[in-house]
Structure 1
Amino acid sequence: MARTPPERIGLKEKLGYGVGDLASGLYLNFFGFFLLYFYVDLHGLAPAAIGLMLLLTKLVDAVTDPMMGMIADRTRSRWGRYRPYLLFGAVPFGLFGVLVFAVPDLSQGGMLVWAYVTYTMAMVVYTVANVPYGGLLGVISPSATQRASVTAWRMFFSATAGIMIGVLATTLVRELGGGDEARGIMLTMGCIAVVSVFCLLTTFATTKERIPPAAQNGSIGGDLRELLRTGPWIAVAVAAIMGVIAIASRAGSALFYFKYVVGDDGTPVFFFLDRVALFYTALALGQVSGVILGNFLQRRFEKAHLIIAAGALKASAIVLFYMLPLDAVWPQTLVQYFVGVGFGILMVLAFAMFTDIAEYVDWRSGKQMTGLVVSASIFAVKAGVALGAAVPGFVMGLTGFVAGESQSEQAMMGINLAFALIPAAALIPGGIAMMFYRLDRRLIATVESELATRRELPG
C-alpha cells in the first residue's frame, strides 16, 4: 500500500508558528541586554549577587523545564497536547516580564529579594509557554524537511526580535524614560509584553498538531533515562549551551563595555542609533542572514559540519572585534555582523536537530517524548543564556567593578574578559561536541520513512 505523503504546511501556518518565537526572542534579548545593567548600574546591587540569581534560576529550570515537557507530552485536550499552554500561558508570560523591572521603593536587601522572586517567576511562566511552543514544532509535521522549513521561520522571527531590540530598545528607553533610565526600561518592557502576548495567541490560533499522540506514554523515569543516553542530544545541547554563552556574555557586558571601556556617552552615530544599538542591530541582522544561509546550506551539507564552521566564524569574529581600535565604529559593526551570521546558523540548525532527535528517539525506543526532548533542549539554551549573562556579573565582581566610577585597570580587564575573551573560548568545546553527532541525513531519512509506515499501521 502506498504511503500517504505528509501534509504540506502553508505559509500562513509557518508565519503563525514563527511569530511565537518573536515573543521569546524579545524577552531573552531584552533581559540579556538590560537586566544586569538595570540592577547593577542603575540600582547599585552587587554584580555577583545578580550573577548568582541568574545561575540559581537555572536550578529551578532544571526541574521545571523537563517537568513541563513531560506534562505537555501527557496532555490530551481538544486543542492538542501543546497548543493549550500558549492560550493560557500568554497573559502570565507578559505580566511577570514587566514585574521584573517594576521595582518598588525598597531597601537594597528588599530590592534583591524582589529581583530574585520576580525573575524566577518570569522564567517559570516562560517555561509554561515556551516549552510547549517548542514541543509543537516536533508534531507540526512528520516530515523533517517541513519541520526544517518551519524552524527557519521560527529562527527568522527570533532574529527579528534581536533587530527590534537593537534598533528600538535604547531609543524607547530614552524617550519613554524622559531622563529616568530605569523607568524607561520598565515601560519598554511593558510594550514588549503586549507584543509578546499577541504573538503567543497568534501561534495558538494558526497552528495544527499533525502527529497523533501515543495511546500511552512510558514512565517519567524511563523517559529521562532514554534521553540521557541519547548521544546526539547531548552533543547538540553542549554546542547550543556554548554558542549561547558566547552571545549572552557579550550582550550582558556590552553596555558596560561601551560606557566604561570605549567611553561612549550614548550619542547617536547613525540616524538615531547609538553605538550600543548599532552593535546589537548588527548582531541581529547577521543572525537573520545566518538563519537564511543555514536553512539553504543544510540541504547540501551535514548539519553537524555546518555548526562547527559557524562556531569557528563566531570565534574568529569575536577575537577580531577585540583587536580593532576602540573608535573603529564601522569595522566593528561589520565584524559584529559576522558574529551574528555564525549565531544564526547555529540556532536554526540546532533547533531543527532537536526535533530530528525526538523522531530518532521515537524510532529507536517507540517512546513519544517530543515535549521532554525539546524542553530539555530549551533548558540547554536557557542555561547558556543564564551562564553567559552571569559571566559579566561574576568577572566584574572579582575584578573590582564599581558602578558609576572610573574603573581600575583590573576592572577594565574584567569587562574585556566578559565581552570578548571568554565568549570566544566558550565556542571551542561546542565544536568538539559536534564531532560526536552521528545523525546524518541518510539516517534521518530512514527514521522518517519507517516512522511514517509505523504510524499508518492499524492499532
Structure 2
Amino acid sequence: MTARAADRVGRGEKLAYGLGELASSLYVHFFGFFLLFFFVDLGGLAPAAVGLMLLLTKLIDAVTDPMMGVIADRTRTRWGRYRPYLLWGAVPFGVTGAMIFAAPEMSKGALLAWAYVTYTLTMLAYTVVNVPYSGLLGSISPSSSERASTTAYRMVFSSVALISIGLFGTTLVRVFGQGDEARGISMTMFVIAALAVVCILITFSATRERVPPARDNGTVSGDLLALIRTPAWLIVATAATLAPVAIAARAGSALFFFKYVVRDNGLPVFLFFDRVALFYTALALGQVTGVILANYLQRRFEKHHLIIWAGAIKATAILVFYVIPLDAVWPQTIAQSFVGLGFGMMLVMAYAMFTDIAEYVEWRSGRQMTGLVVSASIFATKAGIALGSALPGFAFALTGFVAGEVQSEEAVAGINLAFALIPIMAILPAGIAMMFYRIDRAMIATAEAELAQRRASAV
C-alpha cells in the first residue's frame, strides 16, 4: 500500500514523534531495572508489599487510561486532539518521576507510603502524556504503511532508551552515588526526568495530525460497547497483557539474579560494562535489530504471523539463557540479544496493530475512537508490565528471600523462577491468542480506501 503525498510523514517528523517514546521508555526501563531493587534491597521494604503496590496502581489505570482516551478523542483545539496533552503534561510528567527516588530518610512505613503516592502520581502523569501520544499515532496519517513506518521509528527510540539504561544506568548510579547507591539512583532519575520533559515538548512542536476529527463521536457507552465487541481487539489486548510480563519480570529480577545467583562482584567484564550493563545492552541491541527487521518484514507478511514467530524466538532465547552455565558471559550475551530481537519485533507489530484496529472499528461502526482503542490497548500493556514487575516480589516473598544475605536454595529458585520460568510461561499463551487474529493487510487496504471516500465526501 503506497501512501498519497498528503498522507506521508517526513523523516524529521517521525524522529520527533519517536522522541516521545524515548521519554516514556526511559521511565519504563529505569523503573523496571531499579524500582524493586531501590525499595526492597536498599530501602528494606518487603518484596510482596512493593509487588502489591505495582498491581494496585493498575486498578487506577483501569479507569484513567480509557477515560483519558475518551477525553482526547473529544478534545478540539488549534493543536489538534492529542498533541495538546503533550504540552500540558510534560512538566508534571518530569516532576512526579523525579520524586519517586527522592525519598528522604524515613521509617519503612513512611517509605512505603511515599512509594505508593509518588508512583501513583507518576502513573497518572504518564497516562495524561502517553495515551494521547499513542493516539497521535492513529491520526498522524490515514495510511497504515505510514503509521507502521512511524511506529518503527518509535520503537527504535524505545530501543535507544533501553540501550541508554544498559550502557549508562549502572555507570551513572556509581558516578553520582560515590558509594551511595540510593543517592546515585535518585540523581540519575533527575537527569532522565529533565530529558523526558524536553523530548515530549519536541514531539508536541514538530508533529501534526492529518486525520480530521469526526463531527460527532457518539456516546462513550457506545464506544465501549463497540470496542468489547471487536474480537481483534480482545485478542491483541490478551497478547499485549501477557507478552510484557516476560520482559518486566526479567528486568525486575535481573539485579537480584546477578547479585545473588551469579554472585557477580559488579566489576567490568568488557570495557566499562559490568555483567548487568552487558545484559541490558545485549537486550537493547537485539531490540533495535528486531525493530528494523520487523519494519521490513511487515511489508510482506501479516503482522500477527510475525508476532507469533517473534514470541517463539523470545521464549527459546530465554530458555537457552537459563540452561547456559552462569559463568559463560558471552554465550549468555548472545542469547540475551535474541531475547531482544523477539521483543523488538513484537513491539513494532503490536503498536501498529493498535492503530489498525482503531481504523477497522471506524470502518465497521462509523465511530472514530482512536484514543479509546489505543488507551485500552496501552492499559493492557501496562497491566502486563505491572504484573511482570510484581511477580518477582511475590516469588521472592514465597521462597524466603532476605535482602543483603546469602540466599537459601529456595530463595535462589525463586529468583530463577522470576527471571526465566515465569517469562517463558507468559509468552506461550500470548502466541496462541494471536492465532485467532483475523485483520489482514487486504482488509486494512479496503478499510483505508472506503474511509478516505467517506472523509472526502464529508468535507
TM-score interval, smaller chain: over 0.9
What residue number does 2:416 align with? 416
Quote the offset at 1:192 in angstroms: 0.3
1:270 and 2:270 equivalent?
yes
Alignment of 1:179-194 (within 5 A): 179-194=179-194
The CA distance in 1 between the partners of 2:173 and 2:224, in whole Å, is: 43
The CA distance in 1 between the partners of 2:48 and 2:74, in whole Å, is: 39
Task: Give deviations 1:415-457, integer Å, cap 9, x for gaps.
Answer: 0000001101110110011011000111010001100111000
Quote the offset at 1:6 in angstroms: 4.0
Quote the offset at 1:312 in angstroms: 0.5
What residue number does 2:18 align with? 18
What stretches of structure 1 move > 6 A for 4+ residues in a row? none
Deviates more, 1:374-383 or 1:52-61: 374-383
What residue number does 2:401 align with? 401
Per the alignment, in what secondary structure is the counterpart of residue 102 of structure 1? coil
Per the alignment, in what secondary structure is the counterpart of residue 19 of structure 1? helix
Whether the 8 Å contact between 1:247 and 1:388 is mirrored in structure 2 is: yes
The CA distance in 1 between the partners of 2:188 and 2:316, in whole Å, is: 34
Whether the 8 Å contact between 1:45 and 1:112 is mirrored in structure 2 is: yes
Quote the offset at 1:19 in angstroms: 1.0
Whether the 8 Å contact between 1:240 and 1:346 is mirrored in structure 2 is: no
What residue number does 1:45 align with? 45
Quote the offset at 1:7 in angstroms: 2.6
What residue number does 2:28 align with? 28
Quote the offset at 1:271 in angstroms: 1.0
Q: For residue 181 of structure 1, what is the amino acid of its counterpart? A: E
The CA distance in 2 between the partners of 1:250 and 1:5, in whole Å, is: 43
Q: For residue 178 of structure 2, what is the amino acid of its counterpart? A: G
What residue number does 1:383 align with? 383
The CA distance in 1 between the partners of 2:89 and 2:458, in whole Å, is: 35
The CA distance in 2 between the partners of 1:53 and 1:32, in whole Å, is: 14
Alignment of 1:12-411 (within 5 A): 12-411=12-411
Whether the 8 Å contact between 1:282 and 1:337 is mirrored in structure 2 is: yes
The CA distance in 1 between the partners of 2:260 and 2:429, in whole Å, is: 30
Quote the offset at 1:4 in angstroms: 6.8
Whether the 8 Å contact between 1:240 and 1:347 is mirrored in structure 2 is: no
The CA distance in 1 between the partners of 2:19 and 2:199, in whole Å, is: 6
Q: Aligned in 2, Cα 1:4/1:167: closer, same or farther, shift over 3 Å?
A: closer
The CA distance in 2 between the partners of 1:212 and 1:298, in whole Å, is: 27
The CA distance in 2 between the partners of 1:240 and 1:264, in whole Å, is: 33
The CA distance in 2 between the partners of 1:241 and 1:7, in whole Å, is: 31
The CA distance in 2 between the partners of 1:441 and 1:309, in whole Å, is: 18
The CA distance in 2 between the partners of 1:303 and 1:6, in whole Å, is: 25
Whether the 8 Å contact between 1:6 and 1:142 is mirrored in structure 2 is: no
Whether the 8 Å contact between 1:134 and 1:375 is mirrored in structure 2 is: yes
Task: Give deviations 1:31-84, integer Å, cap 9, x for gaps.
Answer: 000000000000100000000000000000000000000000010111110000
Give the CA RMSD over aligned residues. 1.0
The CA distance in 2 between the partners of 1:4 and 1:200, in whole Å, is: 28
Per the alignment, in what secondary structure is the counterpart of residue 114 of structure 1? helix
Per the alignment, in what secondary structure is the counterpart of residue 7 of structure 2? coil
TM-score between both structures, scaled by the size of structure 2: 0.99
The CA distance in 2 between the partners of 1:68 and 1:458, in whole Å, is: 27
Per the alignment, in what secondary structure is the counterpart of residue 457 of structure 1? helix
Q: For residue 17 of structure 1, what is the amino acid of its counterpart? A: Y
Q: For residue 375 of structure 1, what is the amino acid of its counterpart? A: S
Task: Give deviations 1:273-318, integer Å, cap 9, x for gaps.
Answer: 1000100110011100000000100111111111000000000000
Whether the 8 Å contact between 1:102 and 1:186 is mirrored in structure 2 is: yes
